[in-house]
Chain A
Amino acid sequence: MFSSLKRRVDEVLLPGDEFSFEADDTISLTEPAKPEKAVCGPGLRRSGDRLVVCKSGVLRHKAPNVFWIDSQQRRYVPAKGESVIGIVTAKSGDVFKVDVGGSEQASLSYLAFEGATKRNRPNVQVGDLLFAQFIIANKDMEPELACIDSSGRANGMGVFGAGGLLFRVSLGLVRRLLAPQSEVRSDLETLFPCELVVGMNGRLWVKSSSIQQTLIIANLLQSCDTMTAQQRKQLFRKVQQGAL
């Protein structure tokens, strides 16, 4: 099972591809037999005694036993713990309705802000941008956001200030930007200083010293989506030289 999964890491798989749990051919006599456990991420499902791929994409592996499918999806599906950029669309009683790009609007309690109490309501208007994380996200319930972490701190979340620009990129690029050693991010750092907020729902928010620079960064990131690393480096070098 493990070996068959590992053998196909970095391969493109299609829905319907299967991995079956097969007992190892050789049994080691010296080591105690350990039950194999694989942790399956997005795109992999267990069906009886087999593992079935349900999304097309590249199989990825993270040591020791995490596997998932990296797919180029464009529609965001909320997942618990993910940080997203949302737009407040309505105020209804004690909750705000927030559009996060999923199939349903998420709710956000007015108490889920740092320092908010029943008396001291946060200043949130319809149309405001928020950076928040999901505390409830499953298929059967309305997703719920919060702008505080488990210890009650804002931790970078909350309503965005004035200025800056919001735009959409693919979910794949967002994940690449957030990767620990992101090449796109390090390339971007060489250009100009800017403030960048990355929402897992494919929304990016940029603020830089001038509107012109902000727009350049937004355009660069949007076009990065489909470029190879080489093309991107070339483009960034051009921008640095002031060609654009």
Chain B
Amino acid sequence: MTSSACDTASPRCSSMMEVCEASSVSLREFGCEQSLLSRPDGSSSFVQGDTSVMAGVYGPAEVKVSKEIYDRATLEVLVQPKVGLPSVRERSQEQCVRETCEASLLLSLHPRSALTLVLQVLHDDGSLLSCCLNAACMALMDAGLPMSCLFCGVTCAINTEGEIITDPTAAQEKESRALMTFAIDSTERRVMMSSTKGSFSVHELQQCIAVSQEASEKIFQFYRDSVKRRYSKTP
């Protein structure tokens, strides 16, 4: 940055895009930016290859009386597709993301308040649900909400030859005979969420979980690096 940049420095450019290279478990290039929106209390955009999702978190804010829960915060997740209105598919994604976030957030620390997480799909090129999960986790972290652990999403596809492809593109998803998305937690690397499509054997499932756990290490390291970078920018 040149010195003139600071005169016009936009108030929210605390972390720049960054990139992680893929190695043994092949993941596409990742990118993440935190607190890029000015209105939400926490925001992030997460890029996996060409798949890109933006997330915004509001809260803890005032809650509608009808949705008030006396001993914990109410979490609402909205998934906005790139085109059209949210449909049944988005509802089921919302359910998956919401329940995963609920398990990792310490909601009992903010009773009778509302948290709203909005996920805007910018582009879908496969592994959408895992990208949503990653964007959600980064946004929740950015909002400074108390969490017991982090989580990340990994999508695995099994193609017709029986090979496991992690983080598949839309084309690879289409050719695959089974598709699984897992959310892995950061403390014990166990499965928090699972959503599958297609039929597969128990052995294949276990392989996919093992591969996802391996991939999660990388994603968590990427989380750490991007948060570090963000904090190194500010004095």
Direct A–B touching, Cβ under 8 Å: yes
Taking the complex as formed, is B218 at the interface, i.e. its CB lies under 8 A from any CB of chain A? no
The minimal Cβ–Cβ distance linking A201 to chain B, given in whole angstroms, is 13
Residues of A within 8 A of B113 (CB): 103-104
Taking the complex as formed, is A155 at the interface, i.e. its CB lies under 8 A from any CB of chain B? no
B9–A227 touching, CB < 8 Å: yes
Taking the complex as formed, is A58 at the interface, i.e. its CB lies under 8 A from any CB of chain B? yes
Residues of B within 8 A of A140 (CB): 111
Contact of A72 among B10, B14, B110, B187 (CB under 8 A): B14
Taking the complex as formed, is A74 at the interface, i.e. its CB lies under 8 A from any CB of chain B? yes
A226–B12 touching, CB < 8 Å: yes
Residues of A within 8 A of B223 (CB): 14
B148–A74 touching, CB < 8 Å: no
How many interface residues does chain A have, given as a range?
A: 35 or more
B62–A55 touching, CB < 8 Å: no
Residue-wise, chain A 225-236 has the 8 Å CB interface mask toward B (1 for contact) of: 111110110110
Taking the complex as formed, is B13 at the interface, i.e. its CB lies under 8 A from any CB of chain A? yes
Q: Which of A212-244 contact B (CB under 8 A)?
A: 222-223, 225-229, 231-232, 234-235, 238
Contact of B141 among A15, A105, A222, A228 (CB under 8 A): A15
C-alpha gap A117/B16 in the complex (Å): 56
Secondary structure of the B side of the interface? loop
Residue-wise, chain A 118-144 has the 8 Å CB interface mask toward B (1 for contact) of: 000000000000000000000110000
A14–B141 touching, CB < 8 Å: yes
CB-nearest residue of chain B to A176 = B235
Residue-wise, chain A 167-204 has the 8 Å CB interface mask toward B (1 for contact) of: 00000100000000000000000000000000000000
The total of chain B residues at the interface (CB under 8 A) is: 48
Given contacts A16-B150, A226-B14, A234-B3, whether A75 and B143 have CB atoms under 8 Å apart is: yes
Residues of B within 8 A of A74 (CB): 35, 41-42, 143-144
> Contact residues of A with B, CB < 8 Å?
12, 14-16, 18, 43, 45, 47, 52, 54-58, 71-75, 77, 102-105, 139-140, 172, 222-223, 225-229, 231-232, 234-235, 238
B235–A228 touching, CB < 8 Å: yes
Secondary structure of the A side of the interface? loop
B146–A54 touching, CB < 8 Å: yes
Can you list 8 A-B pairs with a CB-CB distance of less than 8 A? A15-B149, A43-B146, A72-B35, A72-B230, A73-B41, A103-B110, A172-B234, A235-B7
The minimal Cβ–Cβ distance linking B210 to chain A, given in whole angstroms, is 21
A54–B148 touching, CB < 8 Å: yes
Given contacts A104-B113, A226-B11, A226-B14, whether A234 and B6 have CB atoms under 8 Å apart is: yes
Residues of A within 8 A of B148 (CB): 15-16, 47, 52, 54
Taking the complex as formed, is B231 at the interface, i.e. its CB lies under 8 A from any CB of chain A? yes
Contact of A103 among B10, B42, B60 (CB under 8 A): B60
